[in-house]
Amino acid sequence: MPLSQEDASHIARVKDLLISQIRADNRQSMFKRGFHDYEIQITFNIVTTVDPVTKAKSPQAWTAQAMVFEEPTSQLDLISLTTDSFASPREAIDELWDSYFSSGIRSL
């Protein structure tokens, strides 16, 4: 199920804003810890179900996740926040934005 142009644009805009906000919130503490090249990833996935009879795929949920790694090659995440939405992809990214600000993990 392709995203509408409006939803894709909204998701990209919120993703960019969230990366900027995470970077701004954690820049000083990351430098103090010695992490000068930390990595921020925002991923967005659609969980689908497959009808066993028709083999048609239908979206079940949309998952948005924000993770901060201590360096680009590391698998150790310093921040990990995931939200799911059964309503729409746009709602999943909006919930991730809201969760970040209400989670208490804004600063490492």
Tens-place pLDDT, residues 55-102: 777 767 888 888 877 655 555 567 788 888 888 888 989 998 998 888
Is 58 in contact with 48 (CB distance < 8 Å)? yes
Tens-place pLDDT, residues 1-60: 567 899 889 999 998 998 888 888 877 777 777 766 667 788 878 777 777 788 777 767
Q: Which residues constitute the domain of residue 20?
A: 5-102
Q: Does 108 map to a domain?
A: no
Q: Does 11 map to a domain?
A: yes
Question: Which pLDDT belongs to residue 20?
Answer: 87
Rounded to two decimals, the pTM is: 0.73
Total count of domains within the chain: 1
The pair of three-digit structure tokens given for residue 12, joined into one six-digit string: 């990209």
Q: Does 107 map to a domain?
A: no
Question: Which pLDDT belongs to residue 64?
Answer: 86
Amino acid at position 14, single letter: V
Q: Does 44 map to a domain?
A: yes
